[in-house]
Amino acid sequence: MNLEIKDLRVFYGKIEAIKGISVSVNQGEIVTLIGANGAGKTTTLKTISGLRPVTSGSIIFNGQDISKLPAHERVELGISQAPEGRGIFPGMTVLENLEIGKYFRKDRKAEMQEDLDKVFQLFPRLKERVTQAGGTLSGGEQQMLAIGRALMARPQVLLLDEPSMGLAPMMIQNIFNIITAINKELGTTILLVEQNAQQALQRANRAYVLETGKVVKEAKASDLLNDPDVRAAYLGTGAH
Amino acid sequence: MSTKNSLRNFNIRDKGAAIWSGWNRFQRTSFGIAMILLAGALPFAGNYSFSNFLNTPISNFADVLVYPVGMFVLMSLGLNIVVGKSGMLDLGYVAFFAIGAYTMAICGKWTDLNTWEILPLGIAFAMIAGVLLGIPTLRLRGDYLAIVTMGFGEIVRITALNTQKIGGPNGMANVPNPPSIHTPVGVLDFNIMTPNSFYWFVLILILLTIWMIRRLSVRRPGRAWEAIRQDEDAAELMGVPTLKYKIWSFTLGAGVGGAAGVVYASKTLYVSPDAFTFNISVLILSCVVFGGIGNIWGVVLGGVFLAYLPERIRFISNARQLVFGLTLVIIMNFRPDGILPRKKREKLHAPAAESGAK
């Protein structure tokens, strides 16, 4: 498994949001993109999953250029995303939300129970709420549901867009523990976009720092944790 | 204020659903058959003293049941696939109705085909129009889609208005009658001389449409539409081919509209561009919203009510539109989600969620 983004450019109308980004994600890694608001993190992720069209550059997944494929076909190839703001279906139950995560799978009936068990093992809370409507879950539970739903598609690479957004500190810890567990136990490669740089850098293998649509730094996550520039810009000083 | 709130919260739909789920298969089937028979017996309502309050003054009751009532219900059901099931705002639905009606008029006058043979053609042409319109426009969302579909509705009408071959502004008169059908059971014969047969024919179309929508709703297309309606981006990220299913929804809705058009033309025997104005699109959309977006039974009720009311109060002539409008405003004020709204699950169990730890 290998995801390679080469010199990616994305425009919103006349505004260039991504100005030539190159990112590579290898099998089994957790890679994180960090940066301030408007740096282009979410746009990069949306372009990889296919929600935004590519202006120029290429996205290569397992040797195949997928930059022209519609989003739903990229899911079939093994790229799943838990979108920003969770994007769960508020009027469907937790179970229905999870089931639709398997929408495209040919033998979804045979796989369903196995994968549901897998998700419920990662997120026992979801099992308790299985008949409850998605819109009535708490923020943390919705995030669990969004990640669980993305896992139902048996992705090779999981794209996570700000999983910590709007969550209480305890829940952030919890979610990041589960993300690490998904990577270690299921072997799923993870591309993580985060504003919570502290947590993201602690969990990730490698990291890219984005600033106004460009990669300004690329290094091992542990190195960036100690990088004075990064500390000053994204980590704050005393706090963590 | 308290009566207003209790009216708002009174949920016939949930009460009905609770009773329905308590029934076994036999009870459900008998209830369904009883309801269909009751609907089938409607044209006779005017003949008996206990039900003749339903009778429409001035217009013939059996005719009113076909147009506008039957047509409105059929079109509302079709539009409900687009607006209610998959959440796309279509303001040009009348275009498909017009295409069906003109198919009937043109094929009926220029070829030897009869109504029954033209019906599938009308549906097919409307569906083709749906695909042709859908492929370029369904990438748009919300208001933008509404404006484009509105434009499409006008294009179809103005094309008919300016095409001399199909009568231009004069329309086409003398559309042939549907031929009789003889069945072994005499009552079920279709004969243009008995006004009720036309109503029963429309009733069958409506039942078929309801059956189709209900089948699709519980299967994969229904799931896909539901996901698209609730969050289109998320649906796409789940591997739902959203464009394909949006076009499907649009096309099915168009087909139902086309069927309504064919029936309309062979009932009124005359089509003209005046019959396919933007007004009709808005009225049909009102039926859907008034009845309860997304709920088949609500939409049927909405269609029946909005089509029947103006005919029933025709005797007050000019004040009729005023009363009609006032009724809409008042009822929508008390029941903003429609008469029979769809189940709103996102609001259920809400207190339980708040007690859950963050």
Are A171 and B226 within 8 A, CB to CB? no
Q: Would you say residue A47 has pLDDT above 70?
A: yes
Q: Would you say residue A237 has pLDDT above 70?
A: no
A117-134 as b/e: b if 16+ CB within 10 A: ebbbebbebbeebeebbb
Distance from the Cα of B138 to chain A's closest Cα (Å) equals 15
The reported pLDDT for the residue numbered B357 is 37
Q: Could you tell me the pLDDT band of residue B347, with boundaries at 50, 70 and 90?
A: low
**Mean pLDDT computed over every residue of chain B:** 87
Are B226 and A91 within 8 A, CB to CB? yes
The reported pLDDT for the residue numbered A127 is 92
As beta bridge partners, residue A81 has A159
Are B241 and A72 within 8 A, CB to CB? yes
Q: Is residue B326 domain-resident?
A: no
Chain B contacts of A171, Cβ < 8 Å?
358
Q: Of B208 and B191, which is predicted with more confidence?
A: B208
The reported pLDDT for the residue numbered B355 is 37
Chain B contacts of A134, Cβ < 8 Å?
346
The reported pLDDT for the residue numbered B21 is 85
Q: What angle do CA B279, B254, B211 make, to 5 degrees?
A: 110
- Count: domains in chain A: 1
Interface test with A, best of B141, B219, B238, B346 (most A CBs within 10 A): B238
Chain A contacts of B349, Cβ < 8 Å?
132-133, 136
β-strands A56-61, A64-65: how paired? antiparallel
Q: Does B194 touch chain A (CB under 8 A)?
A: no
- The rounded distance, in Å, linking the Cα atoms of B156 and B97 is 10
Averaged pLDDT for residues A59-70: 93
Q: Would you say residue B235 has pLDDT above 90?
A: yes
The reported pLDDT for the residue numbered B8 is 59
DSSP conformation class of B170: G
Averaged pLDDT for residues A81-105: 90
Q: Report which of B256, B257, B255, B213 is spatially closest to residue B127, judged by C-alpha positions.
A: B255
Q: Would you say residue B70 has pLDDT above 90?
A: yes
- Count: domains in chain B: 1
Lowest mean pLDDT among B40-44, B220-224, B239-243, B304-308: B40-44
The reported pLDDT for the residue numbered B342 is 84
The reported pLDDT for the residue numbered A6 is 93
Q: What is the CATH number of the domain that holds A167?
A: 3.40.50.300
Q: Is residue A239 domain-resident?
A: no
The reported pLDDT for the residue numbered A161 is 93
Query: Which chain B residue is nearest to residue A171, measuring alpha carbons?
Result: B358
Region at B270 (left for phi over 0; alpha for psi -120 to 50; beta for the rest): beta
The reported pLDDT for the residue numbered B126 is 97
Are B234 and A87 within 8 A, CB to CB? yes
Lowest mean pLDDT among A44-53, A141-150, A173-182, B50-59: B50-59
Q: Could you tell me the pLDDT band of residue B7, with boundaries at 50, 70 and 90?
A: low
The reported pLDDT for the residue numbered B352 is 39
* Helix B296-312 and helix B278-291, axial crossing angle in degrees, nearest 10: 120
Say which of B224, B349, B358 has its CB closest to residue A138.
Answer: B358
Q: Could you tell me the pLDDT band of residue B59, with boundaries at 50, 70 and 90?
A: confident
Are A88 and B234 within 8 A, CB to CB? yes
Cα dihedral B231, B234, B240, B245, rounded to 10, equals 20
Chain B contacts of A133, Cβ < 8 Å?
345-349
Q: Is residue A217 domain-resident?
A: yes
Query: Which chain B residue is nearest to residue A168, measuring alpha carbons?
Result: B358
Q: Are B130 and B96 in contact (CB under 8 A)?
A: yes
Q: Could you tell me the pLDDT band of residue B16, with boundaries at 50, 70 and 90?
A: confident
Averaged pLDDT for residues B262-274: 92
Q: Would you say residue B345 has pLDDT above 70?
A: no
Q: Is residue A154 domain-resident?
A: yes
- The rounded distance, in Å, linking the Cα atoms of A205 and A130 is 34
Chain B contacts of A90, Cβ < 8 Å?
230-231, 346
User: How many beta-carbon contacts under 8 Å exist across A and B?
Assistant: 107
Query: Which chain A residue is nearest to residue B241, measuring alpha carbons?
Result: A72
DSSP conformation class of B55: P
Chain A contacts of B357, Cβ < 8 Å?
138
Averaged pLDDT for residues B194-203: 86
Q: Would you say residue B9 has pLDDT above 70?
A: no
Chain B contacts of A51, Cβ < 8 Å?
233, 236-237
Averaged pLDDT for residues B16-33: 88
Q: Would you say residue B224 has pLDDT above 50?
A: yes
Say which of A80, A136, A150 has its CB closest to residue B350.
Answer: A136
Element (H, E) at B352: helix B350-355
Chain B contacts of A42, Cβ < 8 Å?
none
Residue with tokens 């539009």: B79
**In the structure encoding, which two tokens stand for residue B156, read together?**
């179809």
Q: What is the pLDDT of residues B92-134, one digit of tens each?
A: 999 999 999 999 999 999 999 999 999 999 999 999 999 999 9
Are B238 and A171 within 8 A, CB to CB? no
Question: Which string of DSSP letters, residue by residue, matches B181-233?
Answer: B--SSGGG-B-TTSHHHHHHHHHHHHHHHHHHHHHHHTSHHHHHHHHHHH-HH
Q: Would you say residue B233 has pLDDT above 60?
A: yes
Q: Would you say residue B14 has pLDDT above 60?
A: yes
The reported pLDDT for the residue numbered B354 is 37
Burial class (CB in 10 A: 0-12, 13-18, 19+), B21: exposed
As beta bridge partners, residue A82 has A160
The reported pLDDT for the residue numbered B10 is 64
Query: Which chain B residue is nearest to residue A129, measuring alpha carbons?
Result: B353
Best-predicted range by mean pLDDT among A104-108, A197-201, B253-257? B253-257
Q: What is the ipTM of this complex?
A: 0.90
Are B357 and A138 within 8 A, CB to CB? yes
Lowest mean pLDDT among B2-11, B144-153, B222-231: B2-11
Q: Which domain holds residue B249?
A: 59-277
**In the structure encoding, which two tokens stand for residue A197, read together?**
């740089």
Q: Is residue A127 domain-resident?
A: yes
Q: Report which of A168, A114, A118 is spatially closest to residue A143, judged by C-alpha positions.
A: A168
Q: Is residue B305 domain-resident?
A: no
Q: What is the pLDDT of residues B301-337, one digit of tens each?
A: 999 999 998 888 888 878 888 988 898 899 899 888 8
**Residues 222-241 (B) with a CB less than 8 A from some CB of A:** 223-224, 226-227, 230-231, 233-241
Q: Does B356 touch chain A (CB under 8 A)?
A: yes
CA B94 to chain centre: 11
Q: Which domain holds residue A135?
A: 3-234
Q: Could you tell me the pLDDT band of residue B178, with boundaries at 50, 70 and 90?
A: confident
The reported pLDDT for the residue numbered B3 is 53
SS3 call for B172: strand
Map chain A to HEC letters. Answer: CEEEEEEEEEEECCEEEEEEEEEEEECCCEEEEEECCCCCHHHHHHHHHCCCCCCEEEEEECCEECCCCCHHHHHHHCEEEECCCCCCCCCCEHHHHHHHCCCCCCCHHHHHHHHHHHHHHHCHHHHHCCCCEHHHCCHHHHHHHHHHHHHCCCCCEEEEECCCCCCCHHHHHHHHHHHHHHHHHHCCEEEEEECCHHHHHHHCCEEEEEECCEEEEEEEHHHHHCCHHHHHHHHCCCCC
Averaged pLDDT for residues B63-76: 91
The reported pLDDT for the residue numbered A68 is 92
Q: Could you tell me the pLDDT band of residue B4, with boundaries at 50, 70 and 90?
A: low
B112-146 as b/e: b if 16+ CB within 10 A: eeebeebbebbbebbbebbeebbeebbeeeeeebb
* Phi (first) and psi of residue B171, to 5 degrees: 75, -170
Half-sphere exposure of A116 (CA within 13 A, CB side): 16
Are B226 and A92 within 8 A, CB to CB? yes
- Of chain B, the percentage scoring pLDDT greater than 70 comes to 92
Q: Is residue B320 domain-resident?
A: no
Q: Is residue B122 domain-resident?
A: yes
Q: Would you say residue B12 has pLDDT above 90?
A: no
Q: Would you say residue B1 has pLDDT above 60?
A: no
Cα dihedral B45, B210, B85, B328, rounded to 10, equals 0
Longest Cα–Cα distance in chain A: 52
**In the structure encoding, which two tokens stand for residue B211, read together?**
């059956």
Distance from the Cα of A128 to chain B's closest Cα (Å) equals 11
Query: Which chain A residue is nearest to residue B240, measuring alpha carbons?
Result: A72
Averaged pLDDT for residues B7-29: 80
Burial class (CB in 10 A: 0-12, 13-18, 19+), B187: exposed
